[in-house]
Amino acid sequence: MHEQHRGTEFITHFDYASETFKHHNAANGRLPLFARMPLARSKAGSAWPSLAALILLAGCALQPPAPSVPLTTPARWEAPLPTAAAQPAGSRQLRDWWRQLGDPALVALIDAAQAASPTIATARSRFLQAQATRTSAQAALGPTLDASTQSSRGFSQIAGGVATQHQAGLQTSWEIDLFGANRTTRDAADARLQGAQAQWHDARTSVAAEVANEVNSVRSCRRDLAIQEADAASRAETARLTGLAMRAGFQSSANAALARASSAEASARVTQQRAQCDIGIKTLVALTALEEAQVRARLETPPAAPPPDALFAIDTLPAAILAQRPDVFDADRNVAAASAEVGSAQAKRYPRLTLGGQIGVASFRTRGMETDVTAWTIGPLQVNLPLFDGGRRVADIDAARARYDEAVAQYRATARQAVSEVEQALVNLHGTAARTADAQAAVAGYQASFNAIEQSYRSGLASLLELEESRRTLLAARTTRSALERERLAAWIALYRAAGGGWTQGEPAPAEPRASAS
């Protein structure tokens, strides 16, 4: 047994079963230059019982924290779920719900955005990085095999002249993972790979929700623009008629000036509203990487039908929703990875066992003589025993445990946030449903009132101030109804996002991004 100190590790070499076999072919009756290598003998056999006892004790000491932690979830949703009567026929699927609405513009824009999104591309790159890390960690569990070759020519005292030598060989090494340092590293890489895959799906869900919201906003803006344009046209007509009446002596100049001011105000609102719609278009251009003309052309195609009262069905319990959230699953995988990393840090405090071996051939030529030699070796069997490192390994364990605690806290926070997001989306959805009928009734009532006052004004029975006040009230009611339609669709989109976008564990891995059709 050969013992030596290297840095802070005590390294022991057990050279058991180390044997060399050689084959040679000597020319001209000369002896081979390579003699038979002796079998290494050692008196270290008495060390094996101690090593076995150490392995047993260390195995008992390796107790990483739990790879998963329980969550306390509500037994039911506090906010009301969409009523069964509101659910669409056949219950549209939560996943890719926009493909089931007969809205080709929305489908095309979401596809383009998902193909061009840097967020999705980044998530895919992280998945590929995690995949490579996992492959590397898995490879550490097996042996390595290297090949080498060399040639030299020079004066040899043994041969008494110039000699040419060629050598080639294979070397192998295998770290026997006694305490699971490499295995737990592989387990951590597995967990992070699963989390990275879920993050990719989460990115796709986020992009789909963002584009759907922006399309909803642009369409709502265009509805408001139509309302503003109709109002501006009505005010312009009122201003024209009032001007004619003033010149005929039936209206005062003050009323004519008020009518002109009201018309100008409406025209300014139209300009402002049109600018807001253009800003929304440019946002979609940035999201989809399409030309602005393409985006505008897509949006010129209206949906086959208005959005239904319910886009999809949500009837699962909070615990089931959490299982469908990619971000919650990713946080859970981070806990598992952190637990495995604690185990890896613990295992590095204990001995490491490495087995080596090699096989080689050599050719020696000098003065017309050629000698060929083949040799193989199994060993040495090397055990590294860490003795002193100034507390570095203990500090590594403490740091790994702290990261585990952080991952657990983040996991619980993510789960609570997920429940909160679903509850908020349900509240908004219920609120918009309850306000829809009132908004419709308000518009109908204010429209009837405005029509009556306008008729009275033209008959000289109502003042221009009464007419303008009625017009403002009607405009506000129409705008409120349009905003409510946008808010309700936004609540459905938020619920889609909060429910995890229809993701389930076992979804396929990220594929190459698809090019969007122009």
pLDDT in tens, 259-278: 899 999 999 999 999 999 99
Which tokens sit at 474? 């009607």
Q: Is the pLDDT of residue 207 over 90?
A: yes
Q: Is the pLDDT of residue 472 over 60?
A: yes
Instruction: Please report the sign of the dihedral spanned by the C-alpha atoms of residue 39, residue 42, residue 46, residue 52.
Output: negative
Please give the residue that has the higher pLDDT: either 176 or 367. 176
Q: Is the pLDDT of residue 377 over 80?
A: yes
- Asked whether residue 84 is domain-assigned, the answer is yes
Q: Which pLDDT score, from 0 to 100, does residue 507 have? A: 76
Asked if residue 380 has a cis previous peptide bond (ω within 30° of 0), the answer is yes
Q: Which pLDDT score, from 0 to 100, does residue 345 have? A: 94
Q: For residues 319 and 304, give the distance between their C-alpha atoms in angstroms, rounded to a whole number.
A: 36
Task: Tell me the pLDDT band of 213, cut-offs 50, 70 and 90.
Answer: very high
**Total tally of structural domains belonging to the chain:** 1
Residue 104 maps to which CATH number? Answer: 1.20.1600.10
Q: Which pLDDT score, from 0 to 100, does residue 37 have? A: 37
Q: Which pLDDT score, from 0 to 100, does residue 68 have? A: 86
Q: Which pLDDT score, from 0 to 100, does residue 47 have? A: 54
- Asked whether residue 128 is domain-assigned, the answer is yes
Q: Which whole-number Å values give the CA distances from 129 to 27, 124, 190, 194, 196, in the listed order?
A: 56, 9, 12, 12, 9
Contacts of 307 by beta carbon, 8 Å cutoff, 6+ apart: 101, 489
- Asked whether residue 46 is domain-assigned, the answer is no
With H, G, I as helix, E, B as strand and everything else as coil, classify residue 148. Answer: strand
Q: Which pLDDT score, from 0 to 100, does residue 347 have? A: 93
Q: Which of 39-53, 155-169, 236-250, 365-379 has the highest mean pLDDT?
A: 236-250
Triad 420, 425, 429: Cα angle to 5°: 150
Q: Which pLDDT score, from 0 to 100, does residue 350 have? A: 92
- Asked whether residue 153 is domain-assigned, the answer is no
Domain hosting residue 236, numbered range: 68-141+179-348+410-498
Task: Tell me the pLDDT band of 41, cut-offs 50, 70 and 90.
Answer: very low
Placement of tokens 């949006």 in the chain: 299
- Asked whether residue 208 is domain-assigned, the answer is yes
Q: Quick one: average pLDDT of 127-132?
A: 96
Task: Tell me the pLDDT band of 402, cut-offs 50, 70 and 90.
Answer: very high
- Asked whether residue 155 is domain-assigned, the answer is no
Q: Which pLDDT score, from 0 to 100, does residue 443 have? A: 93
Q: Is the pLDDT of residue 166 over 50?
A: yes
- Asked whether residue 274 is domain-assigned, the answer is yes
- Asked whether residue 403 is domain-assigned, the answer is no
Q: Quick one: average pLDDT of 113-119?
A: 96
Task: Tell me the pLDDT band of 12, cut-offs 50, 70 and 90.
Answer: very low
Mean pLDDT across the chain, nearest whole number? Answer: 83
